[in-house]
Chain A
């Protein structure tokens, strides 16, 4: 069995963010292959202690999970580079002696852990999920909340935006050096790969491995039939992004308010409820001709119910996302997608076939026209391309498995003779 060490800043039971879902689902899928013994390292900040600590648990049956806990208040730069975490991680590596590693998001853990892997000849894949390695703000949007459209990043421009401009050069140097420790880098989209390689990521070892999604269950079509109102009188739109400007809510709100037809329903998923902070509680949802409904957040076992109840997914991000999990979830279920041209999410959209891609980040008027057209003419029937371009987590894991066994293990054998 190959001993695989997986690293991500968060991990079950402290799941948070899309990257964490990907990391968790990959672990489960690799576990199912029967070829791996898996350990996980993540980060927590419980308690009021004065020293760092470690906690072990056993999850998903037989996956060992170590949480490195730093309880004290930390200097900001320690989230980039932390001797304390590196030492604790290094000690774990000595004791566990993994064969290979798969590293995801490492903010809070710090780039030093990659050096520790390199020092101990543990070959690893670094999977990129956001822009943390090249952008201090992690998501390439500026201090005003607008998308940063830099292709080759210029720190002189960043100095007007960064929270710690005086540390930009040092941060860049550490992150760039650390990326070169990886034996392979994977990106969830071509857009992300190009952006990284334009900004110093090693071009000789980067490949695109799309994230998988939870595919629909066998009874999905029955659910769609069940949720289909009879007779069908209105088009049902779904939106998962929440009320943030960066997710495009102001544009969606303006477009729907400007519609002069009323045979539509807009279903707003309140994912904030899952963490006790409802998104839509005190938002103004008046002034629409059609229906606006708040629906509870879905989990992996209720995701089919949500998509079965809509005809069109709205994805209006105002920044270049690296992947777009919800877009693929919708495509895998035959849902038409209206999306801004926002990097990764639009790579699997074929305009007019399985979705509609707005120009750039779209405008209120362009979106309104698109909505009007769909309401009046209905959703295009042909979406033959949809399923073939969306993969499951098992298929993603199969690619990662091939990379580990075909690329990392030979490196390991070469290192040890």
Chain B
């Protein structure tokens, strides 16, 4: 399989080779693994066609005939609304929650939906001809974005910009701790790219964010109306989770830290002292780190308790969570993290996991302490919270039931709060402008 790096990725690797050559092999290996997973994603691009030659010729013809702009957009033509989405879905989680998730919501709106990756420009532009709205996901202001926006303007259809991380925010990137732990991330490069994300966002009509805090940030930067569309589990995930739910307790506590595809070393290290204190009192307990994580960054005192499980396909990852006594979701209290969504809580709650999360990001909006999870208000409270949870089986069972219930009844696919702003639904339906 031939996997092509982007220009920015090549630049990064070149700089890394000059400055930190020892990290190069690991970096390339992780890049390859991530790209391989992306290629297996549901919307794998079969044809990488981002040269819209047909469009350029077509534009010339209709320009010459004074027929370039269309009035009224797709909504006035179509039997029902049609939303086209195109974006950078290289990470499977993005496709699952932002792409497929949007599709599930749109289906409830009695509207049509198609979703493409940014490699499928020709196909996207074709579908746009009969669309009533365009959603662009997580694209910088590059030539794909430019063509999509230009064509949407020609067709007279509204453009929404969806993103689930504050990649446009220099303020958020400036103090994001995980960057220092993740070789693939370069703060200067991210700050420059923030401009490209910011410009793209500002060029669109409406903004879609995965959390209220992120919506506020987007509105600040782009000065456009921003709406919340939270991530939520698919019905299939909820059903699969019922099957995968833990059936018994571990002999000794197993604490799982899901580290994701990019590594969250800074988040775990922020509570390292508290974990050391906990393991001092529970030496038989295990700390299982699932996903991308550089072992050498783990506090030395924790290494004897740690097991490392590599990054897994989604179903295997969720199955691995079911082995946990408790699942740890620490988040350093930084601007970047305050915008984060609760996707990892969704993953753990889907299997009825016992989630212990920092009261940062969207966790406080999704977790009711002691009901469907546990919130840790201060980073110095982790040891006490862990002891409480690990020592109380009844509490854990109550939280397991509460977690699944909260997903089924509150945070699953629906056309109103807390999952989605009803005004966004009206906009996508074409009921308001």
Interface residue ranges, A against B (CB under 8 Å): 12-14, 39, 44, 46-59, 62, 64-67, 69, 71, 91-92, 94-97
- Separation of A210 and B82 alpha carbons in the complex (Å): 40
- A53 and B151 CA atoms in complex are apart in Å by 14
Question: Which residue of B51, B64, B77, B78 has the most chain A CB atoms within 10 A of its CB atom?
Answer: B77
Asked whether, in the complex, the Cβ of A67 is within 8 Å of the Cβ of B58, the reply is yes
A-B contact pairs, 18 of them (CB 8 A): A13-B65, A14-B61, A46-B58, A47-B54, A48-B51, A49-B53, A51-B123, A55-B54, A57-B68, A59-B65, A59-B67, A65-B67, A66-B129, A69-B58, A96-B78, A96-B79, A96-B130, A97-B79
Are A57 and B62 within 8 A (Cβ)?
yes
Chain A CB within 8 A of B427 CB: no
Q: Is the CB of A64 within 8 A of B70?
A: yes
Q: Given A57-B68, A58-B69, are A44 and B58 also a contact pair (CB < 8 Å)? A: yes
CB–CB B61/A13 < 8 A: yes
What residue of chain B has the Cβ atom nearest to residue A48's Cβ? B53
Residues of B within 8 A of A39 (CB): 77
Contacts of B56 in A (CB 8 A): 47
B142 proximal to A (CB < 8 A): no
State which residues 106-145 of B face A: CB under 8 Å. 112, 122-123, 125-127, 129-130
**A308 CA to B79 CA in the complex, in Å?**
49
With known contacts A49-B122, A55-B129, A71–B58 Cβ distance under 8 A: no
Are B67 and A57 closer than 8 Å at their CB atoms?
Answer: yes
**Given A53-B125, A56-B155, A95-B82, residue A46 in contact with residue B70 (CB < 8 A):** no
B188 within 8 A of A: no
Tell yes or no: B71 within 8 A of A by CB. yes
Among B55, B61, B71, B122, contact of A58 (Cβ-Cβ < 8 Å): B71
Interface centre among A52, A53, A97 (most CB of B within 10 A): A53
Known contacts A58-B67, A95-B112; is A71 also within 8 Å of B78 by CB? Answer: no
**Interface membership of B57, Cβ < 8 A:** yes
Check B53–A57 contact: CB distance below 8 A. Answer: no
* B380 interface residue (CB < 8 Å to A): no
Determine the chain A residues whose CB is within 8 A of the CB of B51 once the complex forms.
48-49
18 more CB-based (< 8 A) A-B contacts, given A12-B65, A47-B54, A56-B130: A13-B62, A13-B64, A46-B53, A46-B57, A46-B58, A47-B56, A49-B122, A52-B126, A53-B55, A54-B127, A54-B130, A56-B70, A57-B67, A62-B71, A66-B129, A69-B54, A95-B130, A97-B79
Contacts A13-B61, A52-B126, A53-B54: A95 and B78 contacting too (C-beta < 8 A)? yes
- Which chain A residues border B55 with CB–CB below 8 Å? 47, 53, 55
A65 to B67, CA, bound (A): 10
Q: Which positions in B face A, CB cutoff 8 Å? A: 47, 49, 51-58, 61-62, 64-65, 67-71, 77-79, 82, 112, 122-123, 125-127, 129-130, 155
Which of B49, B57, B62, B77 touches A64 (beta carbons < 8 Å)?
B77
Q: Which of B47, B49, B61 has the most CB of A within 10 A?
A: B61
- Most interface-central of A48, A58, A62, A65 (chain B CB within 10 A): A58
| Cα distance, A139 to B129, chains bound together (Å) | 35
For B59, give the chain A residue with the smallest CB separation. A55
Q: How far is the CA of A14 from the CA of B62 in the complex (A)?
A: 9
Q: Which of A44, A53, A58 contacts B126 (CB 8 A)?
A: A53
Contacts of B52 in A (CB 8 A): 47, 49
Chain B residues lying within 8 Å of A57, measured Cβ to Cβ, are 62, 65, 67-68, 70
A residues within 8 A CB of B79? 94-97
Question: Complex Cα distance A14/B64, Å?
Answer: 10
CA distance A52 to B77 in the complex (A): 21
Residue ID in chain A nearest B82 by CB atoms: A95
CB distance from B68 to the nearest CB of A (A): 7
Taken together as a complex, chains A and B put the C-alpha atoms of A181 and B155 apart, in Å, by 33
Question: Lowest 4 CB-CB distances: which A-B pairs, in order?
Answer: A13-B65, A47-B54, A46-B57, A47-B53
CB distance from B276 to the nearest CB of A (A): 57
Given the interface contacts A13-B61, A55-B129, does A46 sit within 8 Å of B54 by beta carbon? yes
**What's the Cα separation between A52 and B54 when bound, in Å?**
9
Q: Which residue of A has the minimal Cβ distance to B54?
A: A47
**A50 CB to closest chain B CB, in angstroms?**
6
